[in-house]
Chains A and B, each alone.
Chain A
Amino acid sequence: MFGRNLSSFWAATALAACALTSGRAALAAETKSFVVSWFLQAANSYDGDCPDGINPLPEDMFRIELRSIGLPDNQIEEIVGGVNGGDATPEVEDTLVNRGRHNGKPMNAYTYPETVPDVGFHEVKGKYAYGFNLDGKETATNYEDPDTHEKGVDNQYWRALGCNINHRGTRTERPAEWSLHWELNRNSMPAWLISVTADDFTKDGDVTVNLYKALERVSRDANGYVRADSTFRIDPDPRWQNTLHGKIKDGAISITQPHEVHLSGDPYMLTDLDMTKAQARLKINADDGTIEGVLGGYIPWRRVLFIYGSSGWNSETMLGTDIPGAYHALKRHADAYPDPKTGMNTAISTAFRIVGIPAYVVRMDAKAE
């Protein structure tokens, strides 16, 4: 009935209409459930990982782009001089938003980023990045995972944008762009849930990891963190119910059978997380009962672009991601699922850091079990 260790009483009285999240597991199985408290790009910045340099800030990007569409330097300086951190005059904003060119006509750079010439984002060339070897190959554009030392790690999203200053971070220093998108949304978007079921968490063996979308949003505690021990209902919509199978070894959980993951998100972050060939590794912290790990797989790169494009001008001037630049970088580094007609890759390999805190998880549709 509940993901968290519960007495049979609760199953009998309080929530008789609900069913166990891990209903298919063996009777003796134990389920531990969590609500996702952080979800962001698994950043792994370190000195020297961007040998070509950190990408310039928006004003300089604007200069390069305006020059490439043929504006004279004095006009460029006049425009860029009026950016004011986003607090520009309507004329300046209009000029920069419409800095794309198609047949000589101004085009919206967020709707049609391809109409702005590529500024050429620097890419992450360091050896280490979080993730998984998704395609089973080891190539020159793969990384080594800094924790597991798995080789052949596919994480082209990191390669494409990891040299942007607002994407840089580590496991403990959360990257600014992602943390503020998540921070802004987790109060209002439906919560994401993790339920882990194993026969015995203290022994090596099989494990099932379920990822769900909840009907409820998260609540906050006195420190502003996601409140532990709250109760969430699983959205009965089967689209947002994901079951992954794997192994538990020395307490570490890893998904050994790559699978699809679909979670409904929020337009200001990821509208939906649609991940294929997803792998994960997770560890439950014995001290505070939290779970933390990395979730990797392929996601449509245009979905990633939308994170930045949806807040267009603000995203560029206040957060510092040049959107046409991001478009070109993501497209260039996309590495999976070629379009049958164009042959262009539609998906990009990624890795996200995912953190969950203890929660009670209930399923409403008892019949489904």
Chain B
Amino acid sequence: MKIIKKRFRSTTSLIAGLIACGAAAVATGPSAVDAATEAVAQESNGVVIRRLSQEQYETIIADVFGPGMKIGGRFEPVPREEGLLAVGAARVGLTTAGFEQYDAIARTIAAQVVDPTHRKVLIPCKPAAANGPDDACAKQFLASAGRLLYRRPLTDREINLQVKAANQGATALKDFYAGIESSLALMLVAPQFLYRQERMEADPDNAGQMRLNGYAKASRLSFLFWNTAPDPQLLSAAESGELHTAKGLTAQVERLMASPRMEAGVRAFFTDMLGFDKFGTLAKDGSIYPKFTTHVSEDAQEQTLRTITNLLLVNRGDYRDLFTTRKTFLTPLLASVYGVPLLQNKPNGYPESWHAQEYPAGDPRAGILTHISFVSLHSHPGRTSPTIRGKAMREMIMCQRVPDPPGNVNFTVVQDTTNPLYKTARERLTAHATEAMCTGCHKITDPLGLSLENFDSAGSYRTKENGAALDTSGTLNAATFKDAAGLGQAMHDSPAVSQCLVRRLSTFALGRQTAPTESDWVKALNDGFAADKYRLPDLMKRIATSPEFFRVKARPGA
């Protein structure tokens, strides 16, 4: 009850800010789903078709054909929707250039699979003659590889097509393996592989209703927990009907959760939620931030993911503690950016490795929001931006929407870091936000972002800007704090933060925004998350074992 009350308060204060802002903005909560989302949700019958992400594609290929497969190529980017690429993946098509890349990648992989070294291991039979087709052997290989690639057994029609393609290729090129190569390359560009298609079947337990078939359920589970295609055991459970029983489903969920591969699933979710794809184009001005290199941005992402998996998986900790934890992992490179000593007790020239670190109590470097992965990603190339950081916290971590600035704003004051009148970002923003049209929005973002001003655009710790001492005090709703550690505590205590995680994770799992009709489920998940002391694996299990996770309905007129 207390939580609900708090949430109510947070929503009103946010809305108050937005009214002052004078722009249309949408807060979160079951009652505030925007019209567009609702339209999509209504059209959806629960079946979602997602394109494989690059990481999923690469993992599946490594799982099926071995980790030595070289996968070169450019994967077409996916738009971010509902705060997640996972939702974009369920809406994106494929351009001609993107298809050409898939085709090139497919041919590279197929050529490796049939090369003399790999064929011995990967192709389970020998052709009658190497210089021509052998439909039986081709079928044996293509059916078994196809089952793993398509995440279900191939239909007769599909296997016949693949065998025919292999036959034609082998005949034309006088080489059995060239035929296999051609057929496999075809399978690797097939929509059945590139897209996670979900099939429904009549639900025998509920006459007239539909349900996801076992294989579709297996894929939903496997991609959620492992970020890859179902393994043979899960496919067997799908085939046997085990996944349609509560007991069978729980057994498989527990098996997936017990595997070290679960880390891949958790990493995929947070990589998506925290927007790490944007690191691909992040640049810093080297004359201002000489320590910031590509390697820093790579290590920075890894630092945060290690912190997350260590807290949430290894220690089965409270999700909210991510915002206050003083435990993290550093490389010597990151340590030099943070300005902390880190000894790597290794021989000279040894590659930089990871070291567990714990900051002392009261240290401002607490929580993942002070990580380089957050403060540098949400900054300008040559200066910080409390506004961008605040917006990122609101949108990414709290699932609240902050409107974009209107088009006719004069940013000169904010951008000029050399103006002696306004030495700090706070002073510049104060001068900028005197205009009424700006004040409202900045009230939403800046009190959060200014608390991170101890971290410059590259993530280095500082106490002054242009010689002036930094005031890092801030507010979040009723909470006031004096620095980043206090901000982390306020985020920890904010119900919006844990609710947002539930919302993002359920959206990630479903590949779509939850519909208004699912609000009871979302509420149950929120209550359950709190009851589970905010343990992420428990939340994942709640999602995966709830009927709503698999619920579909017949398409009208289908």
Contacts and interface: CB of A to CB of B under 8 A. Distances in A.
Do A and B have CB atoms closer than 8 angstroms in the complex? yes
A215 interface: yes
A219 B357 CA distance: 21
Given A217-B348, A221-B290, A222-B292, A229 B343 contact: no
A230 B343 contact: no
Interface string A211-241: 0000111010111010111110100000000
Given A223-B286, A360-B341, A215 B291 contact: no
A230 B336 contact: yes
B291 A221 contact: yes
Contacts of A202: none
A2 B341 contact: yes
Contact of A14 (B293, B343, B347): B343
Interface string A258-290: 000000000000000000000000000000000
Contact of A9 (B290, B348, B360): B360
B289 interface: yes
A7 interface: yes
B291 A222 contact: yes
B8 interface: no
Nearest to B358: A13
Nearest to A2: B341
Interface string A1-15: 010101101100111
Residue among B292, B332, B341 having the largest count of chain A Cβ atoms under 10 Å: B341
Contacts, number: 72
A263 to B, nearest CB: 15
B360 A231 contact: no
B284 interface: yes
Contacts of B363: 7, 9
B411 interface: no
A18 interface: yes
A15 B290 contact: no
Contacts of B357: 14
A190 interface: yes
A233 B341 CA distance: 11
Contacts of B348: 190, 215-217
Interface in B342-385: 342-345, 347-349, 357-360, 363
Interface in A3-59: 4, 6-7, 9-10, 13-15, 18
Interface residues of A, number: 28
Interface in B261-304: 284, 286-287, 289-293
A59 B358 CA distance: 63
B524 interface: no
Interface residues of B, number: 28
Contacts of A360: 341-342
Nearest to A227: B336
A10 B338 CA distance: 14
Contacts of A227: 290-291, 336
Given A6-B341, A18-B343, A217-B348, A230 B332 contact: yes
A7 B360 contact: yes
Nearest to B285: A222
Contacts of B40: none
Contact of B341 (A10, A215, A222, A223): A10
B20 interface: no
Contacts of A229: 291, 335-337, 339
A222 B336 contact: no
Given A221-B293, A222-B293, A223-B287, A9 B359 contact: yes
Contacts of A364: 345
A233 B286 contact: no
Contacts of B337: 229
A231 B343 contact: yes
B341 A15 contact: yes
Nearest to A4: B341
Interface string B310-332: 00000000000000000000001
Contacts of B287: 223
Contacts of B433: none
B346 to A, nearest CB: 9
Contacts of A14: 341-343, 357
A362 interface: yes
Contacts of A222: 284, 286, 289-293
B172 interface: no
A228 B291 contact: yes
30 contacts: A4-B341, A7-B360, A9-B363, A10-B341, A13-B360, A14-B341, A14-B342, A15-B343, A18-B343, A217-B348, A219-B333, A219-B336, A221-B290, A222-B289, A222-B292, A223-B287, A223-B290, A227-B290, A227-B291, A228-B290, A229-B336, A229-B337, A230-B332, A231-B335, A231-B336, A231-B342, A233-B343, A233-B345, A362-B343, A364-B345
Given A221-B293, A231-B342, A360-B342, 7 more contacts: A7-B360, A14-B342, A217-B348, A229-B337, A229-B339, A230-B332, A231-B341
Q: List the 6 closest A-B pairs by CB distance, nearest first.
A: A9-B360, A360-B341, A222-B286, A221-B290, A229-B336, A231-B341
Interface of A: 2, 4, 6-7, 9-10, 13-15, 18, 190, 215-217, 219, 221-223, 225, 227-231, 233, 360, 362, 364
Interface of B: 284, 286-287, 289-293, 332-333, 335-337, 339-345, 347-349, 357-360, 363
